[in-house]
Amino acid sequence: MMETAQADALVFFGATGDLARKQIFPALQALVTRHDLQIPIIGVARSGWSLERLRSRARESLDQRGGVNEAAFAKLASLLRYVEGDYCDRGTYARLREALGEARRPLHYLAIPPGMFADVVEGLAKSGCAKHARVVVEKPFGRDAASARALDAILHRFFGESAIFRIDHFLGKEPVQNILYTRFSNLLFEPIWNRGHIRSVQITLAESFGVQGRGRFYEEAGAIRDVIQNHLLQVLACLAMDPPTGGGVDAIRDEKTRLLKAVRPIVPADVVRGQFCGYKNEEGVAPDSQVETFAAVRLFIDSWRWADVPFYIRAGKCLPVTVNEVVVEFKRPPRETFGENVPSASNHLRLRLSPEVVIALGLRVKLAGERMLGEDVELVATHQRSDEMEPYERLLGDALHGDPSLFARQDSIEAQWQIVDPVLGHVTPIYEYPINTWGPREVDRIIAGDGGWINPQAAALAQ
């Protein structure tokens, strides 16, 4: 039975790290402001800090990430506690147990590298801090299917599956949830959402910037591990899953997992890897690096709904624009009634997920005049609000309430690794590409004969 009681304390390991600065402190201020968060918030780190320095760090974080709400910050500062200590030292967990006081249902957030998980969860268990507790872990959930299973075994030594919350912040984004809502709250899509009417699907995650000083991290990850295996396969699952049945918290996760298990593992012929010119000059990058900063893959789903429909995913750095977009290309009519040479992507559904939400339906309409000639147009709906919840606010709030709906499940994660495992590492060539281009020329190979890549246009960003 899933534990749904509200957590009565929040403990975050790695309190002095980058993730806390960029995401956790802003989320905590939002939870205080909009959700009246009142439980103790205990930071744990081994940096030789004090509580006052942690409070100063929180203020600096908020200054950099949207501003300080003075009333909310005063409340947040009053809730903050700090425990200093090494994660391998039992004394650290004894001090944590003391700091928890009367709290009996803590939520432990492991904002630390996965290599430290074993020491921390064991320390929590032996000190009694894991009893009736939940634990939140950040991606990466392993480096391949085998390491993901090993990581899961470590967590399950001391926590049940219902107490483990695996964060993929993409799942907390409003536009990603909007894919599901748009599909399943509008009946007009379901009759045509299949191989009979859809020719192909393209998912693009483009970034106009490079690795931004994170060369050492990127050498360990690469584009496939960093964003395709997790974020973009989750977007694919939202696009292609069957409608959920029932109203339980696992209804959507069940369908996503079923879909991901039906995706064929990628073969080397269906992947192109690229590296932007100049990457090898980044700090922390090997001079002979073969790590991809760009990857494009072709996927197929072995189901009646999607048999033979190609799904194309590409992601890369130093591309012309920063945008995340989906284009669902519908098939053309079996006969062009007016004898025109119509572009293959004339009829499409375009879903822009960032930097703003756009839903656009591509149609063919007649040009004014005597002749029966047409042009491609888009019916566009945009949505951009500044008061929407950020992903970490939403996900951290859900974890505190024990709601796992927007968190990744282990069987889903393993299915995602099974898809990309055959092409991890250097099993395919790496091709250099110039900055501010759409990747290496070789990328056209995997989409040859299928209409070509549909590049998001910079002008469309302002629609």
Structure tokens at 139: 């991606």
Checking phi first, is residue 132 left (phi over 0); if not, alpha (psi -120 to 50) or beta?
left
Q: What gap in Å lies between CA 309 and CA 192, rounded to an integer? A: 13
**In whole angstroms, what is the distance from residue 168 CA to residue 235 CA?**
11
Q: Which of 231, 348, 383, 401 is catalytic?
A: 231
In angstroms, rounded to a whole number, what is the distance separating the alpha carbons of residues 97 and 441? Answer: 57
Q: In this structure, which amino acid lies at residue 53?
A: R
Provide the 3-class DSSP secondary structure of residue 322.
Answer: coil
Cα 171 from chain centroid? 6
CA distance 130 to 407: 20
Q: Residue ranges of the alpha helices (H) in 289-445?
A: 391-401, 410-420
* 441: Cα separation from own chain's centroid: 27
CA–CA gap between residue 221 and residue 440 (Å, rounded) = 20
Q: Is the peptide bond before 244 cis (omega within 30 degrees of 0)?
A: no
Give every strand in the sheet of 374-383, ordered side by side. 374-383, 357-366, 348-354, 323-330, 198-206, 311-316, 294-299, 271-276, 430-433
Instruction: Verify whether residue 108 is a known catalytic residue.
Output: no
Phi, psi of 258, deg, nearest 5? -60, -40
CA-atom Rg of the chain in angstroms: 24
Would you please indicate which residues are annotated as catalytic (active-site) residues? 231
